[in-house]
Structure 1
Amino acid sequence: MSAFFYGTLQSETVLLRVLCGADVPNETLASKLSTLKLRPAVLKGYRRHALKGLDYPGVVKSVSAESSVLGLLCEGLNRHDILRLDAFEGDEYDRVTVTVSTIGTTEYPAIETNIPTQLYLWTAGTEHLEDREWELEKFIQGAQVEWMSDRCEFKMVDQLV
């Protein structure tokens, strides 16, 4: 299974915390990471928004067909991973099927188009959307450490174990 990540789950630290749980050995994290294929991708016809007062974004369908979201295609997820991701995303998002195109890199030079994948679509209301882009680097450099220390979303995920 696969999913397109456009927010905090683009961070390997956040992704592995969700998929593996808390306080797991580095070997477990490395083993899980080795089962995943992570590559940049683009989602057309959607727009990523910063959310008012929150450190994570939401993606909604755009009124402009030219809009796009750069993110990360994560392939190699299993059913248990999807359950953990569903719990992490909670009721603010719906998991829907979309189509993305990969972006060629040194590690994965081939560009593939029309890859069906799962997306967590923001559904908690447009009143929460800011009219600006959410920035991954700003999150990683500024909010990630504190953000990860006390997230109710992680508690929901850990209850699945």
Structure 2
Amino acid sequence: MDHCFTYGSLMCEDIFTAVTGLVLRPEAAVLEGYARHPVIGTDYPGVRRRDGARVPGRLYRNVSPAGVAYLDRFEGDEYRRERLEVTLCDGHTVAAWVYVFDTAQGHRLDAGPWDFEHFLREGKARFLLRHPPAPL
């Protein structure tokens, strides 16, 4: 079983469950040394390395190998799965899979930050229309 850190649409438990078929409770975590940016023309973000930056997100623990395979398909060629350390609220760190935006696709990231609250208010409904849950 693996842990997965999410920082975009997959922070929504309903989307995570629809993608993986797993019902897991996430916990707050932070990815240090990365910045989160909108992917141009979409409602979801990507992360890339940036010294001093930090990305808030959610950690899902004990994701099954099948769940990780579903996430790999969902993220597609735009992302690379990397094992990185994330920091929990209590200060402890945990190794987790993180889907980092492919550097070859970096030109597709907007310079500004991606806002989760804005996604919930305005982007989630559009996202679900463009990316309906795949049958499990």
Give the TM-score normalised by the residue count of structure 1: 0.77
Aligned-pair distance for 1:114?
A: 2.4
> Identity percentage over the alignment?
29
Q: Does 1:68 align with 2:57?
A: no
In structure 1, distance between residues paired with 2:63 and 2:11: 14
Q: Does 1:95 align with 2:69?
A: no
Residue 126 (structure 2) aligned to one of 138, 142, 146: 146
Question: Counterpart of 2:94?
Answer: 115
Q: Which runs of 5+ in 1 are unaligned?
A: 21-31, 104-110
Contact kept, 8 Å, 1:57 with 1:134, in 2: the verdict is yes
In structure 2, distance between residues paired with 1:42 and 1:3: 12
Aligned-pair distance for 1:113?
A: 2.1
Q: Does 1:11 align with 2:12?
A: yes
RMSD (Å), alpha carbons: 1.6
The letter of the residue matching 2:46 is G
Aligned-pair distance for 1:112?
A: 4.2
- Judged with a 3 Å threshold, the aligned counterparts in structure 2 of structure 1 residues 37 and 11 are, in CA distance, closer, same or farther, namely closer
Q: Which structure has more strand as a fraction of its residues? A: 2
The runs of 4+ residues in structure 1 deviating greater than 6 Å are none
In structure 2, distance between residues paired with 1:67 and 1:145: 29
State which structure, 1 or 2, has the greater radius of gyration over its C-alpha atoms: 1
